[in-house]
Structure 1
Amino acid sequence: MKKTSLYIGLTALLISASSCENGFDQLNTNPTATMALNPVFTFNNAIVNTAFPSQILIFEEPIVQQMFSPNSGIISGGNFNIDNRGSAGANAALWQRYYRDNVRYLVDVLAKTKSDANRSNLYNMARILKAYVSMVLTDTYGDVPYSEAGLGYLGLNITPKYDTQESIYNDIIKELTEAPAALDASKTIESADIMYAGDVTKWKRLAASTLLRAGMRLSKVNPALAQSTVQKAVAAGLMQSNADNFAVRNNSNYQNPVGVTLNSTEAANYYLTGNFVTYLKTTADPRLTAIAVRYVGAKSGPEQTTARANRDPSVQIGMPLGFDNGTIGARATADGLASFYDYSQLDRTRMGGLTAPNFLVTYAQTQLLLAEAAQRGWTTGNAADFYNAGVTAHMKQLADYGPATVIADADIATYLQKNPYVAANGLALINTQYWVASFLNGPEAFANFRRSGFPVLTPNPYPGKEIKGNFINRLSYPDAEISVNQTKVTEAITRQGPDNLDTRVWWDKQ
């Protein structure tokens, strides 16, 4: 009897459990939750993550001699002309950020919108952004994954092939020509887009201005293609003012990566170079007032206080290259300074602030590239007019950092009068201004320096360099990538050249 009762109890329990399972999925599903993520939000995530990682302070900024550190360890790199891979992995930072947080998301957006006629504008906006991101990657490393990039997320392809830089550029040009042409203001406007609120005209102008940049990048390796690409870009309609700038507008939730670094662990480690400060002072450039601060008399990081802060351009002294932590002290003494902490820095309360914007493609850069194109006879217009417009635009762009960095119109006019465009020295003048206008856009300043050869910089004399030449030509591939995709990386190295800082990318011809 007891055994029978036990069986009956178990049977009832099982029946009860079975009936409870019916509708379990419905009971545990939030009826108000979104079942699918709107791809425009994924797109926005990609936009936010185009802000460059702080490691541009380790490589690109020191290479083009705008900022550097005399200290070694994990921040070694362009300051000493040595590689920084392994556990520190500064060479990998841009790779990881752009493939993981840009390309992956953009490939997902493209997959979700390609066949959706209602989202054709988002699809083509993603094509434009992916072309920009891919240009930064290939300019930095050379041959990189492109046609199969991002497919690890969608198709489990974790060993993508490396495309040649030439083929990547050919496709970038195609994408920046076709995608903006397909944008249509009569179709769904992606108003949630955090860059331009879905403004089709602004996305078209970004595409054309990026196409102009791509065309000029080929000026040494393929002048004919460079010229025809420039002409396509001009015909498509370039940026018309600073209102068209492609910039990540940071805030308290999404802070500027460089600003975070400069306002925390590395606050006392990075300094404006002597070459950069001297150029700005020699030309009486009003931008120096917006850029620099010097903590006069500081003998340590803690002594870099507000009371010591001096932003007067006349007192700014950039740190000379060629010194490390063991030798910079004596040089500072020779320069009449209290210590190396007394040299000029990027003002981390303004342009180096936590919420400072990241400028990626700008009207100022576009006008300066137009000036060079006109100087070369590749487009119509007056090179001097484009030059003046480019310099003016960058000086006015600084107002976006806040009221303390506004440059008065009268100061801009005075500067242009004292530093006029001279056609005989046109390429040097244009590209030196491009160097200034690309300050804090390390990858672009690095790329245009290699492409144009300007400004003319004295090689960093630090004796412990690992490079054979005078300047770093590319960044090496990340160790993590080599470990998981060795066969494809080896194919790229065999084709391109040794995986070191001396190997030139395809368009960087001597």
Structure 2
Amino acid sequence: MKAKLNYIFSLLLMGYVLVGCDQGFTEVNTNKVDPTSLAPSMVLNKAIISTNYLDGFGTLGMLTYNFGIVQQIITPYGSSLSGANYDQINNSNTPLVWTNFYRNVLKQLVAVLGQTKDDPQQVNTYNAARIWKAYVFMILTDTYGDVPYFQAGQGYTAEIITPKYDPQQEIYKDILKELEEAATALTTDLPPVTTDILYGGDVAKWRKLAYSFMLRAGMRLTKVDPAMAETYVKKAVAGGVLQSNADNSILRHTSTYNNFIANHLAAREKTNFYLAAPFVNYLKENNDPRLPIFAVRYVGATGGQEQVSARASSDPKVQIGMPMGYNDVTITSVLAQNGVASLWDFSQVNLNTVLKLDAPEFHVTYAQTLFLLAEAAVRGWVSGSEADYFQKGIRANLEQMASYGSVIPEATIKAYLEAHPLVDSKALEQINTQYWVASFLDGTEAFANFRRSGYPALAKNPYPGSEVKGDFIRRLPYPDSEIVVNSASLNEAIGRQGPNTLDTRIWWDKK
């Protein structure tokens, strides 16, 4: 009997212990700090931030290709830094736009679109994501040509792991359609999404952004489909584009969250990249007040260790751009005729102004928009004076320098404007050359508009080892990884578009 009672007591005790151990188990083991999901608006913010790259190395595609093709920033060095400086393929840097956008930006945008499409309370986030997706795809297709578009970003949701490449013509048609629909669908009936990193939920500014992207996309088609170009330019103007620098699409930085181009050029690549002679010469010859903001020269430096503040000068008179067509050995043959002590003595981008660690980056600006309107006016597509748009565009970019902490005095602005009136016979060249200056450090846009307009009138890079048969690089080749993972779709695109080389022109880049 005693044994039986002990057995019953043991069972009761065990049950009590088990119940006691289980009591509050779920609450204790639930992490109440880490989020299990993110609001779509925050994921959209991440996509916007990621568009400007995730680290300093991501900027190497811009530094080695885009800036060099338009002859604004150049390096004499090869190996991992070869690219537009030698007019050669560098398989490490040509895929960087592709890998960042498809693996990060578009994956995030597709997630936002999927989460918000059927939610009436998320109308503005949904349409903001459509606007940003259109912008991202403009950069992708302008860089490579035909790319996966309609099936892009659906590897997880629809198990499409070998997406079809779509013709650029079809991509642009859908981009323009998306921008029009998204701009129209934005509403002020809902509370603003105050966490929005660009405009704090200001619907009016998002709408102006959409129509400004539409203007840009429409103008891309001036050579290949002028009728469509005119149609969408008129729609953009009727919808309402950027009206001041306060409307600019800006990614702001801090001393903690750095501008990654600045970060890279202030550290690892500090002594490797220089302002190109065509860019510096244009600014000097035109007494451009932006030159001392863009440039610094460590006068007399004979090595990287001598690029110190005591030698630093932003005086326009002493700026000397690095000539195109030389490597770090052959450049020594032209040092004397350029008046420099060494390759380290050429002008560089100013790390105290436009490339401070907390310097902003721009996606589309009021100045760029005005220059496009000036060209559209020349073509008779919009009302207003092309000369007025042109002068306002110059002023807008000069005033934009205040974003870098460099305010250009009003008297200086007026003097520059008076010295640079629009001349009818040179209007397209003047407009698009100013667009080139206004797009400094916006490499993807400078590269695209240079191909579209043919301006500025740059000379071919004379580097003797060039792999480019024509005058300039027209596109970047597809990543080697696509040959392995998506060869059938890739080969279809190449068969339609042309060889996977630096010379092949994309659809809108018509001769």
Task: Give the TM-score of the pair, scaled to structure 2.
Answer: 0.94
The yes-or-no answer on 1:62 pairing with 2:68 is: yes
The yes-or-no answer on 1:81 pairing with 2:124 is: no
AA aligned to 1:411 is T
Q: CA deviation at 1:163?
A: 1.1
Distance of 1:421 and 1:310 partners within structure 2: 32
The yes-or-no answer on 1:263 pairing with 2:266 is: yes
Distance of 1:22 and 1:137 partners within structure 2: 55
Question: Is the Cα contact below 8 Å between 1:118 and 1:188 reproduced in 2?
Answer: no
User: For the aligned residues, what is the CA RMSD?
Assistant: 2.1
* Other-structure match for 1:442: 443
Q: 1:23 to 1:410 in 2, by over 3 A?
A: same
Distance of 2:427 and 2:487 partners within structure 1: 45
* Other-structure match for 1:388: 391
* Other-structure match for 2:3: none
Q: CA deviation at 1:100?
A: 2.1
Q: 2:172 aligns with which of 169, 172, 190?
A: 169
The residue correspondences of 1:22-171 to structure 2 (distance < 5 A) are 24-31=25-32, 34-51=35-52, 53-55=58-60, 56-85=62-91, 89-171=92-174
The residue correspondences of 1:184-199 to structure 2 (distance < 5 A) are 184-199=187-202
Q: CA deviation at 1:16?
A: 6.4
Distance of 2:434 and 2:212 partners within structure 1: 17
AA aligned to 1:482 is I
Q: 1:252 to 1:148 in 2, by over 3 A?
A: farther
Question: Is the Cα contact below 8 Å between 1:104 and 1:153 reproduced in 2?
Answer: no
Q: CA deviation at 1:253?
A: 3.3
Distance of 1:10 and 1:398 partners within structure 2: 80
Question: Is the Cα contact below 8 Å between 1:432 and 1:455 reproduced in 2?
Answer: yes
The yes-or-no answer on 1:213 pairing with 2:216 is: yes
Q: CA deviation at 1:406?
A: 1.7
Question: Is the Cα contact below 8 Å between 1:119 and 1:188 reproduced in 2?
Answer: no
The yes-or-no answer on 1:343 pairing with 2:346 is: yes
Q: 1:276 to 1:491 in 2, by over 3 A?
A: same
Q: CA deviation at 1:338?
A: 1.1
Task: Give the TM-score of the pair, scaled to structure 1.
Answer: 0.95
AA aligned to 2:408 is I
SS in 2 for 1:293: strand
The yes-or-no answer on 1:294 pairing with 2:297 is: yes
Greater mean deviation of Cα atoms: 267-276 or 34-43: 34-43
Unaligned stretches of 5+ residues in structure 2: 1-5
Q: 1:311 to 1:111 in 2, by over 3 A?
A: same
* Other-structure match for 2:471: 470
Q: CA deviation at 1:351?
A: 0.8
SS in 2 for 1:499: coil
Q: 1:298 to 1:230 in 2, by over 3 A?
A: same
Distance of 1:250 and 1:154 partners within structure 2: 33
Q: CA deviation at 1:101?
A: 2.3
Q: CA deviation at 1:64?
A: 0.3
Q: CA deviation at 1:173?
A: 0.3
Q: CA deviation at 1:356?
A: 1.1
Q: CA deviation at 1:32?
A: 5.8
Q: 1:253 to 1:483 in 2, by over 3 A?
A: farther
Greater mean deviation of Cα atoms: 484-493 or 229-238: 484-493
* Other-structure match for 1:327: 330
* Other-structure match for 1:359: 362
* Other-structure match for 2:203: 200
Q: CA deviation at 1:128?
A: 0.4
* Other-structure match for 1:274: 277
AA aligned to 2:328 is N
Q: What percentage of residue pairs aligned between the two structures are identical? A: 51
SS in 1 for 2:94: helix
SS in 2 for 1:243: helix
What is the aligned length? Answer: 503
